[in-house]
Amino acid sequence: MKPYFWKRVLIISCLSGILGATTAQTVYKIPEKAERILFLGNSITYGAHYVNYVIAYLHLNYPDRDFEFINVGLPSETVSGLSEAGHADGKFPRPDLHERLDRILVEVKPDFVFSCYGMNDGIYLPFEDGRFLSYRKGQEMLHKKVTATGAGLVHLTPPIYDENKGAAYANVLDIYSSWLLSQRYTQDWQVIDLHWPMRKFLEEKREESQDYFLAADGIHPNETGHWLMARELLLGIGEHHVYGVNSHNDYFSKQTNGTEILDLVEEYQAVTKDAWLTHIGHKRPGMKSGIPLEKANEASTQVLKKLKSLKQ
């Protein structure tokens, strides 16, 4: 790549941070006819806190819509297909989304997809052209395959890597996020920015205390970090009720049956996500197999009945 390209990327990074703090994101509404919503991602998506916050919010605010949410986030996964030497102490390479993406789309048949990749894709090394190219190609392939099914797709920029754990890799995610944001304008992709608002929030908190963090290990967000992810996603689909709300407790505790609905959403995730992962198949050792999908669907139906009664 020519040197001026990276200058432009870094300028975009700086502008993204500034604009993210001062302007509303482009809004991407979930279509009225979209019922089956799929979440793709790595361990942060599998952990599911931000996913649960989004799902509970949508159940609360759209009680008449028959949403079905499926989370197939897989720990350690990349969209780039890369893996660092000795990953997991040499036990296994990072799984590649593209090994299972076709099966996901066939089995799930989503109407709408949220995809969050990037955290693992630079494999925790300083910036390098080849790794960046693999990330871009992986995202482009993902975009092509999902949109070819007719499903809507929103890409989410990755959450931040804490620069206190390594400034070089924090910079990698700045660059990856800025490239993904640029696809809004160059390729007309739907992209919601989680990265720069999280970075701004952390920087402001660090002005008060240098010990403040959103992720103890620099990678996996705590509850506040997950709420910030959910908040920015919701703002990105036009849900302005969460503007300025800095914790999930501040939001759900003030809604009628809000905490109870969030609890049921978490129960639903516990029943379904491992069942779906096993049903689809993957190459990540050490995962729970869950119960058979048919039984998981039966159990989740009971949870949904409870949830529906609370929404009424």
Q: What is the pLDDT of residues 138-190, one digit of tens each?
A: 999 999 999 999 999 999 999 999 999 999 999 999 999 999 999 999 999 99
> Cα–Cα distance between 78 and 98 in angstroms, integer?
9
Residue 14's alpha-carbon distances to 1, 10, 129, 261, in angstroms, are 20, 6, 20, 39
The amino acid that residue 22 corresponds to is T
CA angle 142, 145, 149 (to 5 degrees): 135
Nearest one of 59, 25, 107, 90 to 304, comparing CA atoms: 59
Phi, psi of 38 (to 5 degrees): -110, 140
Which domains are seen in the chain, by residue range?
30-259 (3.40.50.1110)
Q: Binning pLDDT at 50, 70 and 90, where does residue 6 land?
A: very low
pLDDT computed for residue 198 by the predictor: 98
Dump pLDDT digits (tens) for 94-118. 999 999 999 999 999 999 999 999 9
Quick check: 94 and 120 in contact, CB under 8 A? yes
